[in-house]
Structure 1
Amino acid sequence: MASIRTRLALLGSAVALTAGAVVPAQLTAAAPAAAAADYSWVALGDSYTAGVVQAAGDVFEIPRDGCERTDQSYPQVIERDLGSFFELTNVSCGAATIEDVTSHAQVPVGRSVPGVPDPEAPFDPVPPQSEAVNAGTDVITVGVGGNTLGFADILFKCLELGQGTEGKGTPCKDALATGIPARLTKVSTDYDQMLAKLHEKGPNAKILTVGYPTIIPKDTSKCQYGHPHQFLSITPGDLDWLRTDVLEPLNTAIEKSTATQDAATFVNLYDSSENHSVCDADKWVEGVLDTDNRPALVHPNAKGHRNAADEVTSAILNAIVPKD
């Protein structure tokens, strides 16, 4: 596989030729401005795409719409990396479900946490994210599914049930395990419908579905019960269950749905982030609180978005630039 640098060089040549210019096959800072329109990219997704938390940068939407897209989120990082080659439309939104991407208008919640609404709420509804896609769209990236699964609700239930256990047992698994298969089935069904909708809206677009990173380590002895920068009151047994029966199957469901679409490719963030979980020293996902004691609610930080940007950039270039 060609390196990102090589593929950028090829992209620079392709864009220049499309614009009618003759340039060397190197990426140059003087790429024709008109070339931007030749590659239209729409970024869709939930908070793992939008950024949302302070550890993922500053919100740059003025006025705020409540979706909390941050300047260190991976779509914005990629836009800076790739310069003028892509025209980015980023409509990702915190708390989005798959149906919010496909067909539902969403009422954003801003940086609300349980029991503490965002002081600027309520926000106006935003249109279904798929409305940003059209026949001229070349690339669609979409990272969504966790909210359809109800991961935030599961997480907070695990936090609640783990209180007072001293880290023993699996109270969350005991209470919720029987309902997980139905949740995963809904993710698969909704994801299939979403991909069909995106293909209908953007028939010429390459669709890149973006999975979720490693959140919980395989070795949960790394996780300290009661630590606010990790999983606070969730027991080690429940962390093992969340990893093997909830989060890994979520990625599998997304990957399987993606495989049914000829124009879609799954972007795996799980493997590259394996040693950068909430409980690792060099974490790419923050815990309940980040290391500056700000609410993070188990979301990627700027390092996590940088890794996602690298993986997604490679996938985008592979999708639009012919392989050597």
Structure 2
Amino acid sequence: MDSVTDIITVGVGESTLGFADLLTKCLQLGGESEGTGTPCKEAEGADIPARLKKVRQDYDRMLTVLNERATKAKILTVGYPTVIPKDTSKCGYGDFAKFGTITQGDLAWLRSGVLEPLNKAIEDSTAAQETASFVDLYPSSQDHSVCDDTKWVEGFYSFPSGQDPQISLVRPNALGHRNAAGLVEDAMLNALDMS
């Protein structure tokens, strides 16, 4: 990365937020509550604003450094896809191909109180940089969550045909990667056309 770099793509933020640890905690608390209420939101909700603030601060610093090191580059920040559907009843409590023992209430909170604000924090940080653009995966993946029939994100476990279950820990599958790659490619071509 230097003064001749044309394009930089960045897809980070979930680790700073601690989303994987949060899912694990929600899984445990949902099991203890036997699927009722919002035990994870009650235990962890107060910390989310500070975590989101840290994501925003880290993004701001990272984008500033990228601009300093690659002065002519267009920066594309890539958001996160839809992981949890609006209708959390699709997710079936106890189904580890989806979200296991996370309660429906906590799934709704994770969607609207954690993941959507995470995307917003990344988008807002990106908007503050003149040379950066946000690639929004969320709208195109609305009907392809972990709990949808044609999912682009795997749940806690995936069950490949003819194979033993595999731990996937809520990660995009091949269809999800294909969707992201197409949107990033379009954004790259658009950024290069504008330079």
Alignment TM-score, normalising by the size of structure 2: 0.96
1:158-205 Cα offsets, whole Å, 9 max, x none, are: 011111433211110010000100000000111000000000110000
Secondary structure of the residue aligned to 2:183 is helix
1:220-246 Cα offsets, whole Å, 9 max, x none, are: 011100001000010000000000100
Q: Quote how far apart the aligned CAs of 1:322 are.
A: 4.2
1:316 aligns with 2:188: yes
Give the match for residue 281 of structure 1.
149
Q: Quote how far apart the aligned CAs of 1:302 are.
A: 0.6
Aligned residue among 225, 246, 251 for 2:93 = 225
CA contact (8 A) 1:288 1:298 kept: yes
Give the match for residue 260 of structure 1.
128
Q: Percent identity?
A: 61
CA contact (8 A) 1:192 1:257 kept: yes
1:1-324 equivalences in 2 (<5 Å): 133-292=1-160, 293-322=165-194
Secondary structure of the residue aligned to 1:137 is coil
CA contact (8 A) 1:162 1:171 kept: yes
Q: Quote how far apart the aligned CAs of 1:249 are.
A: 0.1
1:246-270 Cα offsets, whole Å, 9 max, x none, are: 0000000000000000000000000
CA contact (8 A) 1:258 1:266 kept: yes
CA contact (8 A) 1:166 1:225 kept: no
Secondary structure of the residue aligned to 2:53 is helix
The amino acid across from 2:123 in the alignment is: E
- The whole-number CA distance in structure 2 between the counterparts of 1:183 and 1:291 is 33
Q: Quote how far apart the aligned CAs of 1:135 are.
A: 1.5
CA contact (8 A) 1:163 1:233 kept: yes
CA contact (8 A) 1:207 1:264 kept: yes
Alignment TM-score, normalising by the size of structure 1: 0.58
The amino acid across from 1:283 in the alignment is: K
| Distance change (3 Å), C-alpha of 1:322 and 1:198 | closer
The structure with higher relative contact order (CA 8 Å, sep 6+) is 2
- Compare CA radii of gyration and give the structure with the larger one: 1
The amino acid across from 1:272 in the alignment is: S
Moved segments of 4+, more than 2 Å:
none
The amino acid across from 1:289 in the alignment is: Y
1:49-74 Cα offsets, whole Å, 9 max, x none, are: xxxxxxxxxxxxxxxxxxxxxxxxxx
1:254-292 Cα offsets, whole Å, 9 max, x none, are: 000000000000000000000000000000000000122
- The whole-number CA distance in structure 1 between the counterparts of 2:159 and 2:107 is 20
Q: Quote how far apart the aligned CAs of 1:134 are.
A: 1.5
Secondary structure of the residue aligned to 1:272 is helix
The amino acid across from 1:303 in the alignment is: L
CA contact (8 A) 1:225 1:231 kept: yes
**Could you say which structure has the higher helix fraction?**
2
- The whole-number CA distance in structure 1 between the counterparts of 2:110 and 2:194 is 39
Aligned length: 191
